[in-house]
Structure 1
Amino acid sequence: MSSGNEATDSQITEQEYNELKQSEDPVTSTFKLGPQRGQTFRTVHKANYISFWQLNSLMVMVVLSASGLVSLQDFAFVVFSIIYLFFLSKFAFPKLTDPMEEPPVFNPESYLVRLGPLFGGVIGIAIPIAYIFEGFIEGDKEGIRAAAPHVFLLASQVFMDGVAFSDRFSTPIRVFVPVFYNSKRIFTLVDWVKREFSKADDQEFGGSASERRLFLGRVLAIVNLVFWTYDLFFFMLPVYLPRAFRKYYAAAKTD
């Protein structure tokens, strides 16, 4: 093979790079990094690499689990979601076409589509992790126990988003992950809000944290509850889910 052909095979061309970027739906591949220039098109497409954000999410899951802050029910939920994902992929929504040929559900260059996951990552993972770390310093055991389930489940969702967005799964499977996890996290967020507002009368909490921490915990819990409730009931279920299913069944008719 000539050196020119070798160069073409070893480097992603501009057209192939754009196809890879377009194939990533930022709604389901939350915080997932795009393909890097210099990688081979064949390797990126088949390797289903683990992204930087997936690795960090996995680390958060392991740390919270090892610290005893994750309940057996939440851990079992994650295990069940993995099993159920493969079950749906096998018996309900098998892959119909090459995912590289599937058009994205939404325009990945849309400003709102990119801003939503970024905002969700900041208020859903970054700030709550800082809140939990400060809780260890302040001795706010109740605040840590209240915030940890949400952070664990959202980190699990980010990791599973990357798994579902590989070329082994169809579009409905990619929708399944955020809808399934958001539905579960609504209950943990409601519990978080209740615990934050019960701190003032909790003798265990006492005066171990400042008014600033009390205010921050309550605002953080409410903002997350409002954001993820809106995301589930006003975007995922009425907008994203129907569009994804229409694309899937339209592709099924053409096969």
Structure 2
Amino acid sequence: MSGGVGPTVSDIRLTKEEEAAEGKGHLKSQKQSTRRGFLSFRQLNALAIIVVFSASGMVGIADLAFTVLSLIYVFFLSKVAFPLLGSSPDPPVFGQSNKTLNLYVSFAAVIGLFLPIAYIFEGILEGDKEGIKAAAPHVFLLASQVFMEGLTFSAGLSLPIRAFVPVFYNSMRIFTLFDWLKSEIEKVGEGSGGSVRRVYFGRALAVANLGFWCFNLFGFLLPVYLPLALKKYYGYKEKI
């Protein structure tokens, strides 16, 4: 799972596959086309979260509408503003596997998805309706982001579009994280949000997510990843 930190694991892994398939000519192109035609296991997991949260009524109509409209808007931008400039997909921003980046992605998955999902499931058992209601939008939008990142890669969209998705969704999720933190702070203890332990854990998890995703947006995506993606895109355009 990319976790929405900008450069997806799929982008990194693509380079390894290209190197392994180097020199195979048309067979390589055929394999790439086949691979892009299917949803990955990561995307299927994200899609399952989206369906479950939507069907259970954990997320509001505004978040559902945002996800649907973002899908339409992304493909609109891919045709009007940032079309694919060649017959082959744009090269990834980071051409080689990076262990630090992989650890960063894994940490994003744990703090952004796995722990909040566990928190929500525990809330179902303890009857913490307010905690579930506050945390669910972030999890839903992050799962939607992961699915969209994989979809833009599988569809072979341009690099700026692939960079736009995490920036777009990360910006939206910051507002949901503020609401989540506000909800946790307003709890007064056992009875309003489950056990006292759950109240403190919920506050710590909300603060950790808010801090991490603010850094991800303002410290990585906007100043580093997005400029590199645009530079590669327009640099490639100048060579045509």
The interval holding the TM-score normalised by the smaller chain is: 0.7 to 0.9
**Residue of structure 2 in register with 1:69 after alignment:** 58
Give 5+ residue unaligned stretches, structure 2: 22-26
Superposed CA RMSD in Å reads 2.3
**Residue of structure 1 in register with 2:80 after alignment:** 91
Amino acid at match of 2:8: S
Distance of aligned partners of 1:254 and 1:33 in 2 relative to their CA distance in 1, 3 Å threshold = closer
Shift of 1:93: 0.3
**Residue of structure 2 in register with 1:243 after alignment:** 228
Deviation readout 1:55-75 (Å, 9 max, x if unpaired): 010000000001101111100
**Residue of structure 2 in register with 1:124 after alignment:** 112
Give the distance between the partners of 1:33 and 1:238, measured in 2 at CA.
Answer: 20
Is 1:80 aligned to residue 69 of structure 2?
A: yes
CA contact (8 A) 2:117 2:139 kept: yes
Give 5+ residue unaligned stretches, structure 1: 1-25
Distance of aligned partners of 1:213 and 1:30 in 2 relative to their CA distance in 1, 3 Å threshold = farther
**Secondary structure of 2:137's aligned partner:** helix
Shift of 1:119: 0.7
Distance of aligned partners of 1:33 and 1:113 in 2 relative to their CA distance in 1, 3 Å threshold = closer
Amino acid at match of 1:45: Q
**Residue of structure 2 in register with 1:10 after alignment:** none
Q: Aligned ranges for residues 59-208 of structure 1 at < 5 Å?
A: 59-100=48-89, 102-200=90-188, 206=191
Give the distance between the partners of 2:71 and 2:228, measured in 1 at CA.
Answer: 24
Give the distance between the partners of 1:135 and 1:216, measured in 2 at CA.
Answer: 12
Shift of 1:165: 1.1
**Secondary structure of 2:217's aligned partner:** helix
**Residue of structure 2 in register with 1:219 after alignment:** 204
Give the distance between the partners of 1:141 and 1:109, measured in 2 at CA.
Answer: 42
CA contact (8 A) 1:98 1:167 kept: no
Aligned residues: 225
Identity across aligned pairs (percent)? 52
Give the distance between the partners of 2:93 and 2:238, measured in 1 at CA.
Answer: 18
CA contact (8 A) 1:32 1:54 kept: no
TM-score, normalised to structure 1, is 0.81
CA contact (8 A) 1:30 1:161 kept: no
Give the distance between the partners of 2:114 and 2:13, measured in 1 at CA.
Answer: 21
